[in-house]
Copies of this chain bind each other. A is one copy, B any other.
Amino acid sequence: MTSNTVWDAQDAVAPENACPIAPVVEVVFSRWTTPILWVLHQYGPHRFVELQRRIGTITPKVLTERLRQLERDGLIERTYFAEVPPRVVYEISDLGRSLAPLFAALAEWSVNLGEVDQARGIYDAKQQTRHRR
């Protein structure tokens, strides 16, 4: 953070500086990267169609896009077998495996999802009465 006096003009903190964890979120979490990583981490190597089936509703286009991104970021590894018919296997990399504690923390926090639902109910109820005048 540009060091001048104390809280100089141009203070405007860059987003990354305001929040050191944002970059991690950007790399690891998106609608589909989370399920993909989870599956590969939890259930071992998968072929393309296996992933597609296990995740359930993802289209091949999107699955390909996410897999490429994860491969590029070094979180998964793609292995191509030049057989007939050709075969491809995706598995989590060491770097991807290092996300394990993070995933554990995530899974643990999911016990609080009920409270979130409850909070939503209360909030919506308040809004309801507010509009009903």
Contacts and interface: CB of A to CB of B under 8 A. Distances in A.
Contact of A113 (B27, B102, B109): B27
A72 B102 CA distance: 25
Interface residues of A, number: 57
B119 A73 contact: yes
A84 interface: no
Interface in A23-63: 23-25, 27-29, 31, 34-35, 38-39, 53-58
Nearest to A103: B21
A55 B13 contact: yes
A106 B116 contact: no
Given A12-B53, A74-B120, 20 more contacts: A13-B56, A14-B57, A18-B35, A18-B39, A18-B54, A19-B35, A19-B39, A19-B55, A21-B34, A21-B38, A22-B38, A24-B107, A24-B109, A25-B29, A72-B120, A74-B115, A74-B116, A74-B119, A99-B109, A102-B109
